[in-house]
């Protein structure tokens, strides 16, 4: 296997900044190996490129993830429609609550989601979409629970539905706390290399 093939297998799935920085380091490493008389077979010296590709996922976004995060992915063009639909569902979720709670909850939800949108306006498109949709789903879920509580009649069906809703909301909070910080850290590290100059 040539070095270029090895680099393609190890780094081909990563954005250009990551390829530039790590590609430079691996090239230098192999030159040092040859100079030390250890030979220049990349697999012998550097190991399995697939393992390197896998190990890099701990630190950097893949090319697909980066394109999505940075807004380069064409699929993001459809995201406003999806986002809009989810926002509408969150706003109308408490519509079956009794008066005057239904219009009050709907108005509060709408104001909160508009505020979220304003706060996120300068964020990367992928992050904006992720946060906006997550917060909308969370508010929609809470609204459902509130509406359910306001019209509460203690039946097995209502109790099951309430518990299910609560489990979904708690599950989302847990997943978001667990996954999002790591994803964001990887995105910022990738961005740092994307903005850096050549080695």
Contacting positions for another protein (CB under 8 A): 10, 22, 24-26, 28-29, 31-33, 36, 45-49, 51-52, 54-56, 58-60, 185, 189, 199
Q: In b/e form, how buried is each residue of 89-128, taking b as 16+ CB within 10 angstroms?
A: ebbebbeebeeeebeebbeebbeebeebbeebeeebbbbb
Q: How far is the CB of 25 from another protein (least distance, A)?
A: 6
CA dihedral 55, 2, 193, 12 (to 10 degrees): -70
Q: How far is the CB of 31 from another protein (least distance, A)?
A: 8
Q: How far is the CB of 85 from another protein (least distance, A)?
A: 36
Question: Which CB, 12 or 149, lies closer to another protein?
Answer: 12
Evaluate whether 46 touches 3 at the Cβ level (below 8 Å): no
Question: Which CB, 96 or 192, lies closer to another protein?
Answer: 192
Q: Which two tokens stand for residue 95?
A: 């519509």
Question: Which CB, 25 or 104, lies closer to another protein?
Answer: 25
Question: Which CB, 124 or 141, lies closer to another protein?
Answer: 124
Question: Which one, of 97, 83, 185, 95, lies nearest residue 132 by Cα?
Answer: 83
Q: How far is the CB of 46 from another protein (least distance, A)?
A: 3
């Amino acid at each position: 296997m040539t070095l270029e093939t090895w680099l393609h297998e190890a780094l081909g799935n990563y954005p250009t900044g990551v390829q530039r920085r790590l590609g430079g380091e691996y090239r230098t490493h192999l030159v040092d190996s040859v100079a030390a008389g250890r030979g220049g077979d990349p697999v012998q010296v550097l190991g399995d490129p697939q393992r390197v590709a896998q190990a890099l996922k701990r630190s950097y976004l893949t090319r697909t993830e980066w394109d999505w995060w940075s807004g380069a992915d064409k699929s993001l063009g459809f995201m406003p429609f999806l986002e809009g639909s989810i926002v509408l569902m969150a706003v109308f979720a408490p519509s079956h609550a009794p008066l005057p709670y239904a219009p009050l909850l709907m108005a509060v939800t709408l104001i909160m989601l508009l505020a979220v949108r304003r706060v996120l306006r300068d964020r990367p498109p992928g992050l904006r979409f992720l946060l906006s949709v997550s917060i909308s789903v969370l508010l929609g879920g809470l609204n459902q629970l509130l509406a359910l509580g306001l019209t509460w009649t203690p039946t097995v069906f209502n109790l099951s539905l309430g518990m299910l809703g609560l489990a979904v909301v708690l599950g989302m909070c847990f997943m978001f706390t667990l996954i999002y910080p790591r994803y964001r850290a990887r995105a910022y590290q990738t961005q740092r290399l994307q903005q850096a100059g050549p080695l």
